Amino acid sequence: MAALIRLTPSRRQFLSGAAAAAVVGLRPAAAEERPPAQTVDAFDRVWTLVRDRFYDPGLHGVDWPAMRERFRPDVEAAASPEARAAAINAMLATLKASHTRYYTPAEPAYYQLSDIFVGALAHRGLEQVFPGGEIHYPGIGIFTETDDTGRLFVAGVIAGAPAHSAGLLVGDEILSVDGKPFAAVESFRGKVGGAVTLAIRRTAEAAPTSLAVTPAELKPGDMFLAGLRGGARILPAPGGARIGYVHVWSYANRRYQSALEELIAEGPLRDADALVWDLRDGWGGAQPWYLDLFNARAPTMQVADRSGETSIVGAKWRKPVAALINGGTRSGKEVLAYGFREYGLGPVIGSRSEGAVLAATAFLIGDQGLLLLAVEDVLVDGKRLEGVGVEPTIPVPFDRRYAAGADPQLDRAVAILAGR
């Protein structure tokens, strides 16, 4: 069980399968087109890795050799990297497993996963794709989602990132970037430090408006950490209650939990009367013992060195707390949400989590793509969450389209905690 969730970068990790993160960036040295031989080599490499490393040796009953014959012609005939990736992912989809997807350098998740699995990838060709092992890219710090009609909306804004500074809000529809269709990577290539113009629509009936945003060079892990710290704040609440709020965008490193402990022990959340712990969207990677943060029966130590500098060891939150989840709460975060609900730590508010609960590792496929592959099965307290998810104790639907920054799930959590 420990291998499912250990955060040592050289090991497999337990993560979100989210592919919609639109923290946009610069790809490494991947060419737009590939000779057919290289294209087929990448396809065969993915097929072989699945055959040899997928957690179920029976491959969920799928005739894997038959899938190679079925999808190989589609890959050979594809006219673009995106079309080839679509064909590969159509093959992977026959397995009906989370944490099993092929990403291209045109997708922000390609860079984020490369950063999360940097230790493992150091032995799998990282230097050939990212010289020096440095993974960074220009971006503005948002997550996006596309609705059934193809419209693109802002689903999350990372605190402290350029989009947040520019005033982009959850629910904004993105119409174009510098007059061209939005592309998660290409729209911001070569534009760091210079303003780009987003055409957005804040409400369904509104005319498009322009918003200037200045892309910055982002490192995925540092961005998520800064977003956790920068977004921590006290929210106004009825009756003068002080409700703390923190959004953990990624748990794929121990430093995120350490930062949360610092925020509640010595930071801006210390004096809050209650806490909203936001687990919506982003990446997983959490370990079950992170819930010990809310264990009121465990001690906390304060230590001081000879200079008088003090620090907290084993910080605990002993006041009321609520957790937020949604369909973007995946993987290790679902384990936390399950434990939070099952052991009565507080209300779980929002919508059902994704049900993506397998353990994964990653492989770079040359400089053409990255394969995230489920390599271990997962049971939580003997129960299967894969394909099932975690139900909230207090369901609150939230259609983010044209929300103009409103958040009914957060509002409900604040109201409940203030009432307590």
pLDDT digits 0-9 by tens, 230-244: 999 999 898 899 999
CATH assignment of the domain containing 176: 2.30.42.10
Same domain, 184 and 231: no
pLDDT category at 22 given cuts 50, 70, 90 is very low
Residue 367 falls inside a structural domain:
no
pLDDT category at 392 given cuts 50, 70, 90 is very high
Mean pLDDT taken over the chain: 89
Q: End of a domain among 218, 242, 272? A: 218
Range of the domain at 145: 137-218
Q: What total number of domains does the chain contain? A: 3
Q: What is the pLDDT of residue 115?
A: 95
Helix (H, G, I), strand (E, B) or coil at 118: helix
Same domain, 64 and 147: no
Same domain, 273 and 400: yes
Q: Is the pLDDT of residue 32 over 50?
A: no
Q: Is the pLDDT of residue 30 over 60?
A: no
Residue 364 falls inside a structural domain:
no
| Higher pLDDT among residues 313 and 323, named by residue | 323
Q: What is the pLDDT of residue 106?
A: 86
Average pLDDT over residues 255-283: 96
pLDDT category at 8 given cuts 50, 70, 90 is very low
Q: Is the pLDDT of residue 60 over 80?
A: yes
Q: In whole angstroms, how far apart are CA 344 and each of 51, 145, 275, 319, 381? A: 41, 32, 15, 13, 15
Q: What is the pLDDT of residue 15?
A: 62
Residue that has been written with the tokens 């350490």 in this structure? 258
Residue 368 falls inside a structural domain:
no
Q: What is the pLDDT of residue 295?
A: 87
Query: DSSP letter at 7?
Result: -
Q: How many angstroms separate the CA atoms of 379 and 335, rounded?
A: 10
Residue 314 falls inside a structural domain:
yes
Same domain, 127 and 180: no
Same domain, 127 and 251: no
Same domain, 57 and 96: yes
Q: End of a domain among 218, 241, 259? A: 218
Residue 370 falls inside a structural domain:
no
Cross-strand pairs, 301? 313
Same domain, 113 and 193: no
Average pLDDT over residues 251-280: 96
CA-nearest of 45, 62, 46, 146 to 100 is: 46
pLDDT category at 37 given cuts 50, 70, 90 is low
Residue 253 falls inside a structural domain:
yes
Average pLDDT over residues 370-399: 97
Task: Please report which helix (H) or strand (E) contains residue 262, including its range.
Answer: helix 254-265
Q: What is the pLDDT of residue 297?
A: 77
Q: pLDDT (tens digit, 9 = 90+) per residue, 164-176?
A: 999 999 999 999 9
The HSE-up count of residue 220 (CA atoms within 13 Å, CB side) is 27
Average pLDDT over residues 131-148: 92
Q: What is the pLDDT of residue 257?
A: 96
Q: End of a domain among 194, 218, 242? A: 218
Residue 365 falls inside a structural domain:
no
Same domain, 62 and 125: yes
Q: Is the pLDDT of residue 7 over 50?
A: no
Q: Is the pLDDT of residue 347 over 50?
A: yes
Residue 34 falls inside a structural domain:
yes
Q: What is the pLDDT of residue 126?
A: 92
